[in-house]
A and B are shown apart, each in its own frame.
Chain A
Amino acid sequence: EAQVTQNPRYLITVTGKKLTVTCSQNMNHEYMSWYRQDPGLGLRQIYYSMNVEVTDKGDVPEGYKVSRKEKRNFPLILESPSPNQTSLYFCASRPGPRNEQFFGPGTRLTVL
């Protein structure tokens, strides 16, 4: 089944404790993105990647890192999480720049 998977789905952590949210897609898509969803703000793009080793900042990149060492994986790294990073995170992938995005199920992160 074609899909985007994220792990973990739920995470509660404390301020400053480094964490990684994994994202993997099995559709051989070149483009991948990370979004955060906050009430009243919709989804905002954090980072995106156009291919292996090619990444760029979205609208809200502060406090996040990404890497794209393999085509299928695009992990999101929070080196030192803070409470304002409490949010619902979505990973997405698409074949090319003008195609629809396929979204993962989301990761709900709480930073205490």
Chain B
Amino acid sequence: AQSVTQPDIHITVSEGASLELRCNYSYGATPYLFWYVQSPGQGLQLLLKYFSGDTLVQGIKGFEAEFKRSQSSFNLRKPSVHWSDAAEYFCAATGSYGNKLVFGAGTILRVKS
């Protein structure tokens, strides 16, 4: 079955430190991949997406993600975290027909000053 796994439920980093959020997928073929962010009490905002081509994808707010086919991973990174990045982050994937978007369980990011 198609699935998306985010192994870390919570992550705490210091402001200014680097960040990596992990995402693994299980699909028959290479899916289309997304990272969304949800601030407390808010809806979901798209950070970045990968469909094909360059495996390093740049997004908004200084985030990037790298697609690694050999590891079935699509990890999200940011070189220097700001306090405003504290939120919940969701990795999501859809297959070639794009009918169903499957989400991971989410990773809650806390930023300490």
Contacts and interface: CB of A to CB of B under 8 A. Distances in A.
Interface of A: 31, 33, 35, 40-45, 48, 50, 56, 58-59, 90, 96-101, 103-106
A42 B103 contact: yes
B100 interface: yes
B43 to A, nearest CB: 5
Interface of B: 4, 6, 9, 32, 34, 36, 42-46, 49, 51, 90, 92, 94, 96-106
A43 B51 contact: no
B101 A42 contact: no
B105 A98 contact: no
6 contacts: A31-B98, A42-B6, A42-B106, A48-B100, A98-B98, A103-B43
With most chain B CB atoms within 10 A of its CB, the pick from A44, A59, A96, A100 is: A100
B43 A106 contact: yes
A64 to B, nearest CB: 16
Contact of B101 (A40, A50, A101, A104): A101
B103 A43 contact: yes
B43 A97 contact: no
A104 B46 contact: no
B32 A98 contact: yes
